[in-house]
Structure 1
Amino acid sequence: MFGPRLKGVVLYGSEARGDAEPDSDIDLMVLLEGPVRWSRDLATITRRLYPLQLEIADRPIHAIPVPEADYRDGTSLLYREAQREGIAA
């Protein structure tokens, strides 16, 4: 999908905290090396997750591309919350 640019994936939000409801969405951060090319990277993620989304149609998957350096530095509240509560893979 991203080759060596892919540095990790973080599950965050209610699913990671363990308080998801049956219809809760699944939140993912896709950590990428270097600058994120938002529309291109998001399109790549969406294409790759589409088959999984079809299997679990009642649980929307929200995945966003994130620069790994920004995530590690905690440059936003969302990144800091994901660091604290998320499950990294």
Structure 2
Amino acid sequence: MESKIPENIQNLLKELKDGLVSMYGDRLKDLYLYGSYARGDYRQGSDLDVMILLADFKNYWDELERSTELASDLSLKYDVTLSRLIIKEIQWKESDMPVLRNIRTDGVLA
């Protein structure tokens, strides 16, 4: 991770990734930080945007729910709002959605 990311956020991302590895195993392909913390222009109260890249899944909302407790616990522990985007590997490779273009440009692999 790049040094412009505050140490507490680096710690949160490590805990998040460890929790996601326990939760998803080999289905977890990567975790990206994007948005203001990735660009280095965050401010007090900025949310922490992460993209969770999974091999595949059937229902977005089920996957979001699966990671909600972990995300909530870390949000409270580190006093930051954690916003998650969950993407299938095929979408990451093939989609031209604006948010994915931004993550490809500004995102930081966590």
TM-score of the two chains, using structure 1 as the length reference:
0.88
Query: What does residue 64 of structure 2 align with?
Result: 42
Q: How many pairs were matched up?
A: 88
Which one has a larger percent strand, Structure 1 or Structure 2?
1
CA contact (8 A) 1:36 1:66 kept: no
**Counterpart amino acid of 2:100?**
Y
Query: What does residue 101 of structure 2 align with?
Result: 80
Query: What does residue 68 of structure 1 align with?
Result: 89
CA contact (8 A) 2:27 2:54 kept: yes
Query: What does residue 78 of structure 2 align with?
Result: 56
CA contact (8 A) 1:36 1:65 kept: no
Aligned partners of 1:36 and 1:53: how far apart in 2? Answer: 26
What is the aligned counterpart of 1:24 among 46, 49, 66? Answer: 46
Percent sequence identity over matched residues? 31
Query: What does residue 55 of structure 2 align with?
Result: 33
- Unmatched runs of 5 consecutive residues or more in structure 2: 1-22
Aligned partners of 1:45 and 1:65: how far apart in 2? Answer: 10
Aligned partners of 2:31 and 2:71: how far apart in 1? Answer: 13
Tell me the secondary structure at the aligned position of residue 30 of structure 1.
strand
Which one has a larger percent helix, Structure 1 or Structure 2?
2
Query: Which 10-residue stretch deviates more, 30-39 or 18-27?
Result: 30-39
**Counterpart amino acid of 1:53?**
S
User: 1:8-36: CA deviations, max 9, x gaps?
Assistant: 11100011000000110000010001235
| Root mean square deviation, CA, Å | 1.3
